[in-house]
Amino acid sequence: MSLIPGGEIFPSLEKGVIDATEFSMPTIDLMMGFHKIAKYNYFSGWHQQATFFELLINKDVWNKMSPRQKNILETMCKAATLDTLAYTESIQAQAMIASQAKHGVKIDYLSEEILTTLENSWEEVASELSNTSPMFKEVWEDLSTFRKNYEVWGKNGFLPRAQRD
């Protein structure tokens, strides 16, 4: 696996420097022209079900803000997150349809074996990082607790993935 800037993905695919990419969502893939080189789009990764953006503010600056200023920023961030989730969910199907119909992209699922390998590899990396970074360890433990608690909803709140022919 290689981490490269978004703008270098297409030329890297084109030159054979990389064989595949995981970058964003179908709409962005279409806009970046990945369909010109990559004819397979695999779903769904366990690692990113949605894209989120964050606003980082120096804690000293945050602490100097008035309650009204903090409230405005929190409200703006919540509104931006809601808009982003609603909008991006609404446009992915059209991008997938266009990729298939106009550009011959084939859509398929990642196998359970691949997903398990990816998850196990991530767990190894997270363990290593937890041993070297107290901040990472704190964040990872908090996220892991959330994920464990979320399992009840995740396993029961949605219909099973449709069976394919």
The per-residue pLDDT for range 94-125, each reduced to its tens digit, is: 999 999 999 999 999 889 898 889 889 999 99
CB 42 within 8 A of CB 110: yes
Q: Work out whether the CA dihedral 76, 151, 164, 104 comes out positive or negative.
A: positive
163: containing domain:
111-165
Integer Cα distance of 127 and 141 in angstroms = 10
Q: Is residue 48 one of the residues assigned to a domain?
A: no
Average pLDDT for the chain: 89
Within a domain: residue 161?
A: yes
> Residue 160's pLDDT band (boundaries 50, 70, 90)?
confident
Q: How far apart are CA 156 and CA 44, in angstroms?
A: 18
* pLDDT at residue 162 tops 60: no
Q: How many CB atoms lie within 10 A of CB 2?
A: 9
Report d(CA 108, CA 23) in Å as an integer.
17
Is 12 a residue whose pLDDT tops 70? yes
Could you tell me if residue 27 is inside a domain? no
Asked whether residue 121 is domain-assigned, the answer is: yes
pLDDT value for 79: 94
**pLDDT bracket for residue 47 (50, 70, 90):** low
What mean pLDDT is predicted for residues 143-159? 88
In a domain, 133, yes or no: yes
Phi, psi for residue 28 in degrees, rounded to 5:
-70, -40
The pLDDT confidence band at residue 22, using thresholds 50, 70 and 90, is confident
Q: Is 87 a domain residue?
A: no
What is the predicted pLDDT for the residue at 39? 93
Overall domain count for the chain: 1
* Structural domain contains residue 94: no
Owner of token pair 């931006």:
80
Query: Is residue 157 included in any domain, yes or no?
Result: yes
- HEC per residue, 41-91: EEECCCCCCCCCCCCCCCHHHHHHCCHHHHHHHHHHHHHHHHHHHHHHHHH
What letter represents residue 141's amino acid?
Answer: E
